[in-house]
Amino acid sequence: MPEPLAPSDLTQHYQQKIRQVTAEVGKVVVGQQYMLNRLLIGLFTGGHILLEGVPGLAKTLTISTLARVLHLHFQRVQFTPDLLPSDLVGTMIYNQANSAFEVKKGPIFANLVLADEVNRSPAKVQSALLEAMQEKQITIGDTTFPLDLPFLVLATQNPVEQEGTYPLPEAQVDRFMMKVFVDYLKKAEELEVMRRMANLSYASDVQAVLTKDDIFGIRGLINQVQISDTLEKYIIELVFATRKPAEYDLAEFAQYVQYGVSPRASIALHRAARAVAFFDERDYVLPEDIKDVAADVLNHRIMLTYEAEADGIRTQDLIEAMLRKVPIS
């Protein structure tokens, strides 16, 4: 039986595994390293991710490929206007053989659930995700079923086409650790995509790199990454700056903010910053780690007024100003 790895060796072992995951996904997906990085942060900190971008940017392909590399149970649900909550979580069916009702579990019972175009279904379907996302359990009839861990919802939505879509309820949006805006590829990357896809016989196989135990092992190491009291207080200051901009030399945004971020934002910033530090092979958090994830953690949680939309003010503008003006003390 092999000797257990020392803590430092275990850290290096898992960091090498993460690099292998990136390399394996890269066999199928060209570019989109930023999106993949955010998906991995969500995976290793237990946070759900919302991806927003126009069609054709490999959002679905990246998630499905990542599931293969992680060797996790993966389910894809295409959200449509006629989707019912039971189509997602499952329902009770009558078994004539034994004259009894039985539970038929839905696709939510997986480790990685891709909610494709999540904003295409009414609120009652979107809200069916809430119990799963927050409590890691599903209730069907009188029975509550725990979900297999790790459990992660990775959702996509198209920001361009608004006809036939439904805005996500604020309670659901807040449960996404990060909202990531997916942009177009660079010229060289799109050239590579075109060349690959022009070859009709092109196929790329990926190898499973991590197990469930590896994922929980990495989570444990990220949990050991140190963050100073000063940086923890800095996170709180950033969060409060979204609620009371005028007190942080951001008076020009005060009239545009309807609601600031919830306490889930401070938790998400803390977890995501430690994951960034771990990916950079450090056991301590730097201010740059917090700033690196601030936009993705905060952008979907800040509610602006109608005046902000009329004046062309975006949440990104407020976040950028906060990162410039809120001091680290």
Arithmetic mean of pLDDT over the chain: 87
| Strand ranges, E, within 230-285 | 257-259
Which string of b and e fits 77-98 if b means at least 16 CB within 10 Å? bebeeebebebbbbbeeeeeee
Note the CATH architecture for domain 7-196+208-215.
3-Layer(aba) Sandwich (3.40)
In this prediction, residue 163 carries a pLDDT of 62
User: By C-alpha distance, which of 130, 133, 306, 318 is closest to 239?
Assistant: 318
Q: Is the dihedral of CA 116, 122, 128, 133 positive or negative?
A: positive
| H/E element, 321 | helix 315-325
pLDDT of residue 322: 94
pLDDT for res 3: 47
pLDDT in tens, 45-101: 999 999 988 888 888 888 888 988 988 899 999 988 888 888 888 887 877 778 787
CB of 48 closer than 8 Å to CB of 176 = yes
Q: What's the pLDDT score for residue 133? A: 87
Phi-psi group of 281: left, alpha or beta (phi > 0 → left; psi -120 to 50 → alpha; rest → beta)? left
Its pTM stands at: 0.89
| Fold topology of 225-325 | Helicase, Ruva Protein; domain 3 (1.10.8)
DSSP 62-128: HHHHHHHHHT--EEEEE--TT--HHHHHEEEEEETTTTEEEEEE-TTSSSEEEEETGGGS-HHHHTH
In the chain, what are the domain boundaries? Answer: 7-196+208-215, 225-325
Q: Does pLDDT of 5 surpass 60? A: no
The predicted-structure confidence for 17-39, as pLDDT tens digits, reads as follows 999 999 999 888 888 899 999 99
Contact 41, 47 (CB under 8 A): yes
Query: Is 225-325 the same fold as 7-196+208-215?
Result: no
Q: What pLDDT was estimated at residue 298?
A: 95
pLDDT band at 228 (very low <50, low <70, confident <90, very high): very high
pLDDT value at position 201? 66
> What pLDDT digit, counting tens, does each position of 245-297 carry?
999 999 899 899 999 999 999 999 999 999 999 999 999 999 999 999 999 99
Give residue-wise pLDDT tens across range 180-224: 998 888 899 889 888 887 776 666 788 888 889 999 999 999 999
